[in-house]
Structure 1
Amino acid sequence: MIYAVWVPLLVPFVVVPAARRLADNLAPARAVRLLAATGAGLALCTLLALTLLVVPGAGRLSAVAAAGEFVHPLAATAPGAAVPLAAAALFLIAGCAAAVTRAVRGHWAQLQRARPDHGDGEELAVLHDSRPDAYALPGRPGSPGRIVVTTGMLHALDPAEREALLAHERAHLTGRHHLYLVAAELSAHCHPALRALRAPVGYALERCADEAAAHAVGDRRVAARAIGRAALAARTAGEPPAPRPAAALAAAAGPVPRRVAALLGKGAARSRVGRAAAATLLACLAVSGAAALDATYDLHSSIEVAQGESP
């Protein structure tokens, strides 16, 4: 266990270089699912590894040893390192739990507060504001959410571009994209390296919505032009747009030039680079899970030995 338990804590650092390549070179929907699953899986393996580090040190406490009916001390790790490692791992688990709890409560509070002042009961809420802005506002469970757009943004686009912009935001709502962002955020609280997955997940989600908009209007150039002009209008306005709710997803967010270039290419890329990046992420997830299971089995055997049973 002393070796296997460290693998889930180190593997996430290997994922970082492959994540952006995956988002750029794999179909957006597949990239989103794979990035989110990888982040969640590695986060769970991290927490399991930390828990496995806590048990040997805790087993050296008399109360825990009595409860576990230990005849011999646990031999899963070196005696001098068991207690300090357990204390450090327990501290990290507590920090992760507190951060995840705050994030979940914060997201729920944002959904509760995120209610536009106009267009109750309608999918589209038009705000009378000269500052160009548009975003998708996810709803609470059971609520479809709402598209919010200002009059300034509507005036900045022609009719075809407006249709593409609304289709983009509608794709965010129907796909429940904010849940993927929440999953990436929660994973990032469990391991510092997983913070690097948030940007590729966000980019892949915008690419999903871009492709949906292109399909809805039947013209990739119109979709690309709508995204580019929306971003340009928002950034060249005389004053910044009003603060958005934290849960909002905006069409003008993220690396717009990369998104426009992808739309003007030949559709979703399925290159060797994308497949290699996907294979890397899957391999990292498999290795981390296997190491965590191996460490769990070793600890179980150590507990049987400590209880005076045959391993």
Structure 2
Amino acid sequence: MIYAVWVPLLMPFVAVPAARRLADALSPVRAVRLLASTAVGLALFSTLALVLLVVPGATRLSAVAAVGELVKPLAEAAPDVTAVPLAAAAVALLAGCAVAVTRTARRHWAELHRAGVPGDGSDGELTVVRDSRPDAYALPGLPGSPGRIVVTTGMLRALDPAERDALLAHERAHLAGRHHLFLAAAELAALCHPALRSLRAPMGYALERCADEAAAAAVGDRRVAARAIGRAALAARAAEEVEGRPRVALAATAGPVPRRVAALLGRATPRPRVGRAAAAALLACLALSGAAALDATHDLHSSIEVAQGESPQH
């Protein structure tokens, strides 16, 4: 187990470079699904690896050995010299992850509860705010609530009617796809392993590309969608930073806008081979990490049986 257990902890460092190539090389929807699966899967396997590192050291304690009915230490699971220090380090890391994940999840939930923008005009999902500063974003709702689109009068004045339709379609796609859940999953996964922090930017870009494509399909003109995104980003950047926007909101002006506009206009160079290779590499990393975690779990179970004076089951 002592060797296999390290694979899930090291694999995120190998997977992240491949994941960065997905956003432009694959379709946005496939990129989002693969990035989310990779982030969550690698986070779970690395957390399981830390749990497995705790057990051999914990069984050195007489109370734990008595509860587990162990007649001898788990010598095969980890050497005596390293078992206790590794267990202590793993416990500290698990505690830190648990605290960080709990705080982030509670903050996210609280923001959804208190998120609200005073507006003088509302049409179903749309809330118009009297504000000269251009801004527009999708505000996700609580479970069972569709959420709403918030746009300022300054943003409406900055765009022509066709561009407004494209911008609203973009934000509507964020709500319909529940994109905030993917971002939340990537953020929580990053708290479980430091290497996974680098997946948040590709995830955010891929989600914006999903909404861009939905907007282009809704208005039936990719140029209009690209122009709407570009002009909205320029208007928002020229204005002062809008205060009070909830952190759970998703905005069309987020991320690398020039790359998104180029992709809508077909100026980005398609790289299907790179996409397939990156996807295969990610799936291989995920499979290898899961197989190593299962192998380490099986080895630990066998060691526990031996320590209990039983014959290991195969």
| TM-score normalised by L of structure 1 | 0.97
Contact 1:27 1:268 in 2 (8 A): no
Q: CA deviation at 1:241?
A: 2.3
* Partner residue, 1:26: 26
Q: Determine if the alignment matches structure 1 residue 183 to structure 2 residue 189.
A: no
In 1, Cα distance between equivalents of 2:304 and 2:25: 46
Q: Percent identity?
A: 78
The offset of 1:269, in angstroms, is: 4.7
Q: 1:57 aligns to what?
A: 57
Look up the match of 1:200: 202
Partner of 2:83: 82
Code of the aligned partner of 2:297: T
Counterparts in 2 of 1:271 and 1:147: CA distance versus 1, 3 Å: same
Distance 1:59 1:135 in 2: 52
Q: How far apart are residue 268 of structure 1 and its match?
A: 10
Q: Aligned partners of 2:243, 2:157: CA distance in 1, in Å?
A: 17
Cα offset, 1:267, TM superposition: 8.9
Question: 1:236 offset after TM fit, Å?
Answer: 1.5
CA distance in 2, matches of 1:120, 1:132: 17
1:262-281 maps to which residues of 2 (within 5 A)? 262-265=263-266, 269=270, 271-281=272-282
Asked if the contact 1:27–1:270 (Cα under 8 Å) also holds between the matched residues in 2, the reply is no
Contact 1:131/1:153, CA 8 A, preserved across alignment? yes
Structure 1 match to 2:243: 242
SS in 1 for 2:192: coil
Whether 1:142 aligns to 2:149 is no
Between the aligned partners of 1:232 and 1:64, the Cα distance in structure 2 is 62
Aligned match for 1:152, one of 154, 157, 160: 154
Report the Cα offset of residue 15 of structure 1.
Answer: 1.3
Conserved in 2, the CA contact under 8 Å of 1:28 and 1:268? no
Structure 1 stretches of 4+ moved >4 Å: 266-270
**Contact 1:132–1:151, Cα closer than 8 Å, also in 2:** yes
Q: Distance in 2 between matches of 1:51 and 1:71?
A: 22
RMSD of aligned alpha carbons: 1.3
Q: Which amino acid aligns with 2:34?
A: L
Whichever residue aligns with residue 252 of structure 2, its letter is A
Corresponding residue for 2:170? Answer: 168
Summarize the alignment of residues 1-150 of structure 1 with structure 2, pairs less than 5 Å apart: 1-75=1-75, 76-118=77-119, 119=121, 122-150=124-152
Unaligned runs of 5+ in 1: none
1:229 and 2:231 aligned: yes
Q: Could you tell me which amino acid in structure 2 is paired with residue 197 of structure 1?
A: L
Structure 2 unmatched runs, 5+: none
Deviation per CA, 1:136-164: give whole Å up to 9, x if none.
00001111000000111111111110000
Task: Say if 1:103 and 1:248 are closer, same or farther in 2 by CA, change over 3 A.
Answer: same
Partner of 1:216: 218
Query: Which residue identity does 1:203 align to in structure 2?
Result: Y
Sort the Cα spacing of 1:168 and 1:267 in 2 relative to 1 into closer, same or farther, 3 A. Answer: farther
1:285 aligned partner: 286
Q: Does 1:306 align with 2:289?
A: no
Asked if structure 2 preserves the Cα contact closer than 8 Å seen for 1:138 and 1:248, the reply is yes
User: Counterpart amino acid of 1:100?
Assistant: V
User: How far is the alpha carbon of 1:20 from its aligned partner?
Assistant: 1.7
Report the Cα offset of residue 69 of structure 1.
0.9
Q: Check whether the contact 1:27–1:269 (CA below 8 A) recurs between aligned residues.
A: no
* 1:120–1:139 CA distance, 2 compared to 1 (3 A): farther
TM-score normalised by length of structure 2: 0.96
SS of the aligned residue for 1:11 comes to: helix
